[in-house]
């Protein structure tokens, strides 16, 4: 099953794509859709929708894992992020993808075994789990790959489990559930 993770943002929207076959998860692609900060929001949303649609059409994932709502002190920022999430979900719904939400803490817990990790730790573990030569950059792409991995390991109907480096790469179950939307 091909899974795309989305780290939504109005300036940078990261995406990461993995394939899950039985208990193995492999890297497919990652990248970012980048907007200029002073471009009006509707124009940024249009760019996100169009470019994400192109990615979805090119890679044809079956499911999307998107970052869920989290606490944000700035209401304006929270609203814009919510709108960017909506654009990603719309692009997925137009193509019939299953959409699953994961809280940032849940993603970190699935990837690192604890929810309080920083971005550098997430990048390191994504690199290690996927066997990449270097950590995915920018952090938005790494976060999107972490979302895809989280869904591959813990999502509804997904049998693969995160390899635990402390166990020599053997799988260790870390159960969690995404909420199905749609």
pLDDT over 70 (residue 33):
yes
Domain boundaries of the chain, sorted by first residue: 2-181
Q: Which long-range contacts (CB under 8 A, 24 or more apart) does 119-128 make?
A: 119/143, 122/146, 126/16, 128/165
Mean of the pLDDT values across residues 106-113? 88
Indicate whether this model's pTM tops 0.85: no
3-state secondary structure of 38: coil
Question: What pLDDT is attached to residue 73?
Answer: 76
Question: What pLDDT is attached to residue 30?
Answer: 97
**Catalytic sites, residue numbers:** 7, 67, 140
Question: What pLDDT is attached to residue 71?
Answer: 64
pLDDT digits over 54-109, tens only? 999 999 999 999 988 766 677 777 788 889 999 999 999 999 999 999 988 899 98
Query: What is the chain's Cα-based Rg?
Result: 15
Q: What percent of the chain has pLDDT over 90?
A: 62
CA gap 171, 182 in Å, rounded = 31
Mean of the pLDDT values across residues 109-115? 84
Question: What pLDDT is attached to residue 182?
Answer: 38
Question: What pLDDT is attached to residue 175?
Answer: 29
Question: What pLDDT is attached to residue 70?
Answer: 65
Question: What pLDDT is attached to residue 81?
Answer: 83
CA gap 70, 78 in Å, rounded = 8
pLDDT over 80 (residue 10):
yes
CATH number of 2-181, picked from 3.40.50.300, 3.40.47.10, 3.40.50.2300, 3.30.420.10:
3.30.420.10
pLDDT, greater one: 155 or 102: 102
């Amino acid at each position: 099953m091909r899974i795309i993770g989305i780290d939504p943002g109005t300036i940078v929207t990261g995406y990461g794509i993995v394939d899950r076959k039985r208990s193995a998860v492999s890297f497919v692609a990652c990248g970012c859709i980048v907007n200029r900060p002073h471009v009006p929001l509707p124009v940024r949303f249009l760019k996100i929708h169009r470019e994400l649609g192109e990615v979805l059409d090119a890679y044809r994932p079956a499911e999307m894992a998107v970052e869920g709502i989290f606490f944000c002190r700035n209401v304006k920022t929270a609203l814009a992020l919510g709108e960017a999430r909506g654009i990603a979900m719309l692009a997925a719904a137009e193509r019939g993808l299953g959409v699953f939400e994961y809280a940032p803490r849940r993603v970190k817990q699935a990837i690192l075994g604890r929810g309080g990790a920083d971005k550098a730790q997430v990048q390191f573990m994504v690199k290690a789990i996927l066997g990449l030569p270097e950590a995915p950059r920018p952090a938005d792409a790494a976060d999107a790959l972490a979302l895809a991995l989280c869904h591959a390991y813990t999502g509804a109907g997904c049998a693969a489990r995160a390899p635990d480096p402390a166990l020599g790469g053997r799988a260790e179950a870390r159960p969690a559930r995404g909420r199905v939307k749609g």
